[in-house]
Structure 1
Amino acid sequence: MTTKTIAVTMGDPAGIGPEIIVKALSAGELNGAPAVVVGCLETLKRVMAQGKIPQVKLKEITSVAQAHFTPGTINVLDEPLADPAGLTPGKVQAQAGDLAYRCVRRAAELALAGEVQAIATAPLNKEALHSAGHLYPGHTELLAQLTDSKDYAMVLYTDRLKVIHVTTHIALRKFLDTLNQPRVETVIGMADTFLRRVGYTHPRIAVAGVNPHAGENGLFGDEEINIVGPAIKAMKARGIDAYGPCPPDTVFLQCYEGQYDMVVAMYHDQGHIPLKLLGFYDGVNITAGLPFIRTSADHGTAFDIAWTGKAKSESMAISIQLAMQLA
């Protein structure tokens, strides 16, 4: 276990975030771990009062310096809801979206100030976020703006499969119109930097094609010839061990079986579908390119089971553990 301190953001309080945070921080080696929760204290109390999750002590603190980490206690930096009693579990609400935003903003401020060394985020709901006037596609773009980060990318991480994305929350038609060589080169470079940061001394990076069979030499499209291929060649010239363009229908399995260390996916679903199929419960979402480590549970708010005690906390726990390791 590390002595670094991690901030854990509540995410959407009407979702499973409060539940999986309590479960994760009250079990195994994370029980008493150096993590402070940034979220609504009253909501955590309400969720625990349901009696369906572990009963722990919630200690309110006003600064990270006040935190003391002991088993059975969770330190909370209170970020109150506008109307805690009016929060309805499992419903999209503006106040919940606003809280999710404020929790991320506060955690980012703590990380930039050096008070915490990494952030682990519980899932937020994009509709609730937008209804509160915070018009971001998700955590990645929000954190990029809060930290003034220009080059960033989403990484999905499991022990056996790691994926980094050229684009994420963008319409498929727009992706095809805006795909360009500099961005592909940047993401290949971030993949190499990220893997070295987590312990790979000679990363092997596979770059997926855009089209079926990676274009089949131009038969099914020319993006591989005009954009992806030249980007790979340019990064090879800089000493990066990059391969491709690789057929998207096989490259993720090849990485899973150990032929590569990471796959560069071109768009959201190309990378998310294989990762979530192979690692839905233990996958972690990481934002590469930020000035601090940020990990996240790789699933949504699960409004249908919010506050019922049914939510699995493995991904949240792994995201916190990984944040500590990387910090």
Structure 2
Amino acid sequence: MTTAFPSTPDVSIVVPIYNEVENLPDLVERIAHAMSAQPLSFELLAVDDGSRDGSADKLRELAATRPWLRPVFLARNYGQSSALQAGFDRVRGRYVVTLDADLQNEPDDIPLLLARLETDPGVDMVSGWRKDRQDAELSRKLPSRIANRIISRTTGVYLHDYGCALKAYRRPIIDRIRLYGELHRFIPSLAKDVGARITEVPVRHHARTRGVSNYGIDRTFRVILDLILIVFFMRYRQRPLHAFGGLGLWLAAPGGLILTWLLVQKLLGESIGGRPLLLAGVMLVLMGVQMIAAGLIGELLMRVYHEAGGAAQFHAQEYVPANRPERAEPGVLVAQDAIDKVA
């Protein structure tokens, strides 16, 4: 299928790929078919994450006759988060769509997500919900359900399906977030942290018919560790003293009470030198002081970071009424990413 390639497409579709050579021809054709059914122009950023099965060669072959297909090749296998970020760094559309390459996501559902963004200005991100999952393995379904509930409760972003790769975003949201490690699982939480308004729509899901799944039960433990990072990032990134200092006070306070009580006992003439409680009190106070010191160091680092022109501390939109003479396009919010300088 050959189409005119727009210089600035409306939609950028980002697909991370790792050893999916058998699925690529069908994937590309189905995405093209889905996008031809709606009026928005598009580009497909297929990011090969160091595949070893010939996926890179297949992408080159497919791109030769499809000007809207833009293959991106990573030097080695860096992981899904890095592959997505490599695609996000190159998007040009005002909407960004992500999905997996294993064809378990349904490309024909992409227009459904885009239509929601087009018709609802109060939504910045549409997340797919695999309401009727076709995974055969209970080892994938059960941990996924548990993880969705835990992540929703701890981050405050209530979704049925964090693991669904099929999502659509307004471009400013993608421009504000950075992925590293394995944070791709928590994109809704990161999006909320930069001000995104999120909704969820049911999408279709298919069982894998070709290729081998790259997921295992071991990722459950990695999710728990990443969740701790996300909660800290969302709540205490700009105030680390509240995290470390709060924990330090909880440790130092009982330690101080223990030592005070032992001091009274000592003044009354009792021997306290061999009592385990003395060691416990000293350890609690020392750990508390160390945690508070860590919080202060974190605050100093944040101050240096923002004064040096680091990432924006907040994102805002300025509304200019239609009757203003400086208004170029009436009735549109003007996005402004601002850095709050520390005095």
TM-score normalised per structure 1: 0.29
TM-score normalised per structure 2: 0.28
Relative contact order: is structure 1 or structure 2 higher (C-alpha 8 Å, sep ≥ 6)?
Answer: 1
Specify the structure having the higher radius of gyration (Cα): 2
